[in-house]
Amino acid sequence: MVELFDMANIEVLWMLFAVAIIAGVVDAIAGGGGLITIPSLLIAGVPPILTLGTNRLQAVIGEATAFATFLYHQQVSLPGLIRGLVFTALGALLGSFSISLFDKETLEILLPILMVGITCYAIFSKQIRRSEAVLPKLTTQTFMCLCGLIIGFYNGFFGPGTGSIWMLAFVILLGKTIKQASIMTKPLNLMGNIVSLGFFMFIGAVDYRLGLMMGAGQVIGSLIGGKLVVTRGDQIVRPVFITVTLLMTGKLLYEEVPFKLIAHSLAAF
């Protein structure tokens, strides 16, 4: 077990607690809370590998809270997701143990392209604006097996944008509304994150004190965000989803070397 912070860093702890509340709201609505928590942890001086493990812990707590909120309001049926949960866990397990076997550089190049596609689809597609479900392109069983394995593997191996990918898959392949996609994504993404968290715990890359402190903030934020999804539906999910995908795409594009060089050249000019 690794613990980075003590009571001498109480201001930093409270700052991260507040950050986790905001991230919890965003995560419960449309995912993407890691855009807020990961940079905050790094700025606070947490080493990168410890940041990833600690972020998984607080994210799991938040997603579990959001999922419990949707269950309480009878917005999701767990029995219908069992197959997806099993295959997501299997995929995430395979992905976590494949980290050392494959080169991540290819994914780092392809992910910005994928996120640009997701962002364009989110902005311009009429399917995202639907208020009613339509006929699915796949059976639920096929979807849960196929997407559970593929997206679960991606979550365990790499991770960024997993929630957005799940939501888009539900909209395109199962014909769900964006609100339904947001709700159904939570337990599946939660399962993938639990498996990945287990890997980080196994290698000792989790600050439990910090993760639980942020997890408490996630509980508050997730309760707020979950309630907004239930009461406001597509009206709140759609704009938050588009905003999150835009921010994630911008971040990923900026992190590519050519874009960094352009930004630095403009700044120097």
What are the extents of the domains in the chain?
7-260
The pLDDT value recorded for residue 3 is 52
- Coil/strand/helix, residue 2: strand
Look at residue 219 in the predicted model and tell me its pLDDT. 97
CB 50 within 8 A of CB 12: no
Mean pLDDT, residues 208-224 taken together: 95
Task: Give the 3-state secondary structure of residue 6.
Answer: coil
Q: Note the pLDDT tens digit of each residue in 38-69.
A: 888 988 888 888 988 999 999 999 999 999 99
| Number of H-type helices and E-type strands within the chain | 11, 0
Burial class (CB in 10 A: 0-12, 13-18, 19+), 181: buried
Q: What is the pLDDT of residues 127-161, one digit of tens each?
A: 777 777 788 899 999 999 999 999 999 888 877 77
Report the percentage of the chain scoring pLDDT > 90: 44
- Candidates 98, 227, 194, 88; CA nearest to 150 is 88
What pLDDT band is residue 207 in, cutting at 50, 70 and 90?
A: very high
Mean pLDDT over residues 179-200, rounded? 92
Tokens of 39: 């940079």
Written as six digits, the tokens of 5 are: 């912070």
Alpha carbon distance 145, 188 (integer Å): 12
Residue 201 has pLDDT above 60, yes or no: yes
The mean-pLDDT minimum among 9-23, 120-134, 181-195 falls in 120-134
Task: Indicate the pLDDT class of residue 261, thresholds 50, 70 and 90.
Answer: very low
Contacting residues for 197 by C-beta, under 8 A, at least 6 apart: 53, 56, 57, 60, 206
- What pTM does this model have? 0.81
Q: Which amino acid is at 213?
A: M
Q: What confidence category does residue 107 fall into, taking pLDDT thresholds of 50, 70 and 90? A: low
The reported pLDDT for the residue numbered 263 is 45
Q: In this predicted structure, what is the pLDDT of residue 269?
A: 43
Angstrom distance (rounded) from CA 150 to CA 34 = 21
Give 260's pLDDT tier (boundaries 50, 70, 90): very low
Pull the structure tokens for residue 229. Answer: 């999804």
